[in-house]
Structure 1
């Protein structure tokens, strides 16, 4: 069995770090990236997406690209793999969806539900009872308080804070360092302290 890491950029390499830290060095790993096919990344071969024929994880931060690629690969009957760094903390009664990635020093509290192909970067925190829908992203250092709902494709930027009980709408983007004190509408960018809508 070969694990294909789809995306040979920064998050792809960080995902590979998590795979290595998990300790199964005997399983073959390849990167998949149409722009780098035929080259090597971290000493591993990079193949074209058409060549993926086994378990995969999509390690691309852009939620639209992640959704499109994962749907295409699953449509071919391939299985998404969930990757959790051994130095991440996953609380009791928390469920991780298929194809999700949780990096080192992330803390995911109890009774959270993460959808499919969710990305939780290093040094992040998710409070109790959070609900993260499919292809959501929490970038490094972000703090998402308890009972927050991140709708499909939402992104919380580096070092941002989302107050307890709020909803960040589908496709919304919380800018780096923003402090979210009210719900964020779908497909809206918010920045600042407190966070306010910002034109894309």
Structure 2
């Protein structure tokens, strides 16, 4: 019997993870979500995360990197095994490494020599250029474009249709707003917006 996957998170990204699993022919047992436990989502049961069967495979379908980190620690502690899920219409080039628990959605392109850390996500129609390094729990939203040789540290987010130019570094926990164009390195825990991207506080202050 083929092992079934549990998806942590029954919201939008969780349901998109289910779409990815269905397209890839991976059977899904249900969702893990405290807020929706006891209900059905897309015809599948929703349990509390603590109810994950020991040794079961799981994938976290939640966009927030901090929440992914907390859930991964919980589910690993219960004996769960993070599973990487790639849509059949995503393209993963040679010499690229996907860490445990990664999610790559349909239409995404991950170029050669790239490394994705554990529990990272590349959403639909997003691209990651050659030799880029993504830390753990990184999120590239739909249509995001990460150029070659970029470093995205742990917990960073690249917003929808944002562009990170060649060789840039995005610090730990930073957030690149939708449609921003990153032309210089971004410090840790900073939100940048606009084109060229600048910290949100600078935009508000008119500097």
Question: Could you tell me how far 1:198 is from its partner in structure 2?
Answer: 0.7
User: Normalized against structure 2, the TM-score is what?
Assistant: 0.94
Q: CA shift at 1:29, angstroms?
A: 2.0
Tell me, in whole angstroms, the C-alpha distance in 2 between the residues paired with 1:142 and 1:55.
28
Cα distance, 1:2 vs structure 2 = 2.8
Secondary structure in 2 matching 1:111:
coil
Matched, 1:185 2:187: yes
2:136 to 134, 137, 150: 134
Deviation, structure 1 residue 23: 1.8
Equivalence for 2:148: 146
- Deviations along 1:48-99, one digit per CA (max 9) or x if unpaired, are 1111111100111010000010011112221000000000000000000000
Pair 1:94 & 2:96 matched = yes
Gaps of 5+ in 1: none
Cα offset for 1:28? 4.4
- Structure 2: any 5+ residue segments left out of the alignment? none
Alignment of 1:17-166 (within 5 A): 17-24=19-26, 27-53=27-53, 54-166=56-168
State the alpha-carbon separation in 2 of the partners of residues 34 and 77 from structure 1: 19
1:12 alignment partner, SS class: helix
Q: In structure 2, the residue corresponding to 1:158 is in which secondary structure? A: coil
Moved over 2 A (4+): none
1-side partners of 2:28 and 2:187: how far apart? 42
CA distance in structure 2 between the partners assigned to 1:34 and 1:176 by the alignment: 29
Q: TM-score, normalised by structure 1?
A: 0.97
State the 1:158 CA deviation.
0.2
The two structures, once aligned, show a CA RMSD in angstroms of 1.1
SS of residue matched to 2:62: coil
Mapped to 2, the partners of 1:65 and 1:164 lie a distance apart of 29
Aligned residues: 198
